Amino acid sequence: MEILQLLFFYLVAFVTIVSGLCVVLCKNPINSAISLVMTFFCLAIFYVTLHAPFMAAIQIMVYAGAIMVLIIFVMMLLNQGAEVVARCRHAVVGAVVAAGIMMLQVLVTLKHGDVSGVVGPVNSAMIEEVGHTELIGQALFTDFLFPFEIASILLLVAIVGAVVLAKREV
Amino acid sequence: MITITHYMAVSAILFSIGTIGVLTRRNAIVIFMCVELMLNAVNLTFIALSSHLGNMDGQVFVFFIMTVAAAEAAVGLALMIAFFRNGDSVDVEDFSLLKW
């Protein structure tokens, strides 16, 4: 059972990373977008294995649903072909070096550090009993009520801003 | 046994892939998608640590990150449409109006 879980994790991680690479490497933006949807679905699987089913549902509805539809819609609207191949190789080399250094730092920190701290009351048994959505709701409407209200104002500003920016000049 | 380190390693690799994309691609929409990839890598870290530490706060943060990402998508794509209408291109090398 244990080894099966590990195998499943490695399979999902492999698909996540390969589709993440496809996002960066595909010449056609539509193929990048489809790979990104695949990455989002794999991340939703990770969230389920981490006992966060509400987050997995939100991930699929908001990211794989709403945001990707918006991106693909704009791509179709602008009707552009494949990107020309990068002219300057030093930019690619610099980017790979920068990302490599960053990843090395994180991995070294992970290897030598220990993730610990104050362990809270929420565990998988409690999530089974109370329900994940209810736990999120309780946190959202008590401790995080003010940020929640600010988020609604942010969304309103984003709606108005998007309409103003994208409308034709009258 | 799947430990927290496994999830953090996947997250670090995804974030690095996103960084490479932002620095090398020149289509503004693809750069935008790579930024979404980096945001998702951070979300995975938040949820993994929240689950590991038995605390709900990390997942509420992911909720807010998704809100901000949705707002960013709406405004960013509207900006791209406005750019495209001005110059028939979303290549970042053509966005040089402020270059001196």
Residues ≥6 apart with Cβ < 8 Å to B35: B18, B22
**Reported confidence tier of residue B71, pLDDT bands at 50, 70, 90:** very high
Report, as ranges of residue numbers, the positions in chain A whose pLDDT lies below 50. none
DSSP-derived letter for residue B94 is G
* Cβ neighbour number for residue A83 with a 10 Å cutoff: 17
CATH of domain A1-102: 1.20.120.1200
Q: What is the rounded radius of gyration, in angstroms, for the C-alpha atoms of chain A? A: 21
B97 assigned to some structural domain: no
pLDDT at A165: 87
pLDDT at B70: 92
Query: Given B1, B56, B79, which is nearest A139 (Cβ)?
Result: B56
B82 assigned to some structural domain: yes
> Is it the case that residue B39 has pLDDT exceeding 90?
yes
> Is it the case that residue B82 has pLDDT exceeding 90?
no
B63 assigned to some structural domain: yes
Say if the ipTM goes beyond 0.85: yes
Name the residue range of residue B52's domain. Answer: 4-89
Q: Which residues of chain A form CATH 1.20.120.1200? A: 1-102
> Is it the case that residue B13 has pLDDT exceeding 80?
yes
How far is A12 from chain B, CA to nearest CA, in Å?
Answer: 10
Sign, CA torsion A55/B50/A137/B14 = negative
What distance in Å separates the CA atoms of residue B16 and residue A16, rounded to the nearest whole number?
A: 13
B40 assigned to some structural domain: yes
B94 assigned to some structural domain: no
pLDDT at A84: 63
CATH number for the domain harbouring residue B23: 1.10.287.3510
pLDDT at A170: 55
Arithmetic mean of pLDDT, B38-67: 91
pLDDT at A82: 63
Give the number of domains in chain B. Answer: 1
Query: With an 8 Å Cβ cutoff, are B70 and A74 in contact?
Result: no
Query: With an 8 Å Cβ cutoff, are B1 and A9 in contact?
Result: no
Name the more confident of A128 and B67: B67
pLDDT at A34: 93
pLDDT at B1: 79
